[in-house]
Chains A and B, each alone.
Chain A
């Protein structure tokens, strides 16, 4: 099935939602694992999103302007003795896309509710 241009798939909505939740808690930028962990905890799942699925979705969100990314200073990673990290930040475009996607997901049920309420 081919998606419409600009349409978000459920995983992308979850990623943007997690980025927004993190930002509300003061975490303005998040790396891939942190976003995957947030999504897992939010939906009460047992497993993290698959590597390929997660990073492909992140790349697409960045390409469509919903996220911005930057690589951290290698010196910080070296001082922590861990691999270098890529941080993602939710953009205004991403926030707007998230709002639209959530509204679109509500519309069918609102439509059904309105149809049921008709005399």
Chain B
């Protein structure tokens, strides 16, 4: 028996149960397997087409994704071996914003680097612009959310760094090219202060800070005319570690952090 769309569901179950005790994984997998089997049998009785069944299976999968993720995060296996982890929903939301910001801007940057300027891409260009806008808004929300979440233990330096980063992003959206410098500079200050306050893992702060410097190099080069501004693929390649570090920061916040590093506001 092979339920149309069933393989996708099984792969997803396999993915979100990874790391859980074998009996928990087997229980969830078998239950979903039985459900798929019953759904397939019912479709045969009702004479439904394979396409209609596939659509329903995929819809059931998609509509249940938030519940699957929430269920996974509530499982004991979602906690760190280092100890109990903070599971503040607001921290996770900030983490999700970092992931969205990083993922959308990475996608947009790759398309531009490979295919050329947005204006020459037609419909795809509109999508790239939309992704860029979503990424920019998510970044602003992520920075402000991070400062707000850890406000109990951060100094003025974080607020300054956050403000500079947000201003940098706003100016980037307004296409004020030299202000690209503000973005990595502000986020580096913010992350450095967050790490100092033990609000995020130190290794992550080092990666983010280093990638900010790597990103500043081509920007400074472009500003002083050492690197051509038209050399987009090279600039995108150097900016990639910085954008990917946003995703890493987001994943770290989504996974939640050890209780002793949790934001005071939600402790």
Contacts and interface: CB of A to CB of B under 8 A. Distances in A.
- Interface size of A as a range: 20 to 34
B66 interface: yes
Contact-residue size bin, chain B (C-beta under 8 Å from the other chain):
20 to 34
Contacts of A75: none
Interface in A59-108: 59, 71, 82-86
A51 B37 CA distance: 13
Contacts of B62: 50
Contacts of A51: 9, 32, 35, 60-61, 64, 68
A82 B56 contact: no
B196 interface: no
B84 interface: no
A56 interface: yes
B61 A34 contact: no
A51 B67 CA distance: 9
Interface string A28-67: 0001111011000000000111111111110100000000
A55 B70 contact: no
B34 A48 contact: no
B38 A56 contact: no
A51 B38 CA distance: 13
A33 B38 contact: yes
Interface of A: 31-34, 36-37, 47-57, 59, 71, 82-86
